């Protein structure tokens, strides 16, 4: 694995910032602490892109459109048969 500027900054901060205190408080290693926080950050990023938040009114409109969806046209049935 190649060390990029960003990864070097993370490692440098892990040893110079408040991270040693945080590591000690969590009872883990520096590597474990960094991995856990990177994992949590990645989950937040993915969640921001794959979660749809709707107001109650918008949800009701969406649900209604799903319940009252039009019958699929021949072109859609043909496409889905592939």
Output phi, psi for 51, to 5 deg: -110, 130
Identify the weakest region by mean pLDDT among 2-6, 23-27, 52-56: 2-6
The proportion of the chain whose per-residue pLDDT surpasses 70, expressed as a percent, equals 77
* Tally of CB atoms within 10 A around 74: 7
Report residue 65 as tokens.
């459109």
For the chain, the first-to-last Cα distance in angstroms comes to: 42
**Which of 11-34 are b and which e, b meaning 16 or more Cβ less than 10 Å from the residue's Cβ?**
eeebeeeebeeebeeeeeeeeebb
Q: Is the pTM of this model over 0.75?
A: no
């Amino acid at each position: 694995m190649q060390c990029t500027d960003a990864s070097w900054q993370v490692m440098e901060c892990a040893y110079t910032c408040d991270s040693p205190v945080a590591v000690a408080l969590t009872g883990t290693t520096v590597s474990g602490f960094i991995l856990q926080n990177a994992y949590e950050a990645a989950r937040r990023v993915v969640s921001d892109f794959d979660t749809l938040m709707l107001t109650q009114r918008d949800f009701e409109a969406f649900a209604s459109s799903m319940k009252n969806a039009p019958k699929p046209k021949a072109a859609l049935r043909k496409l889905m048969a592939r």
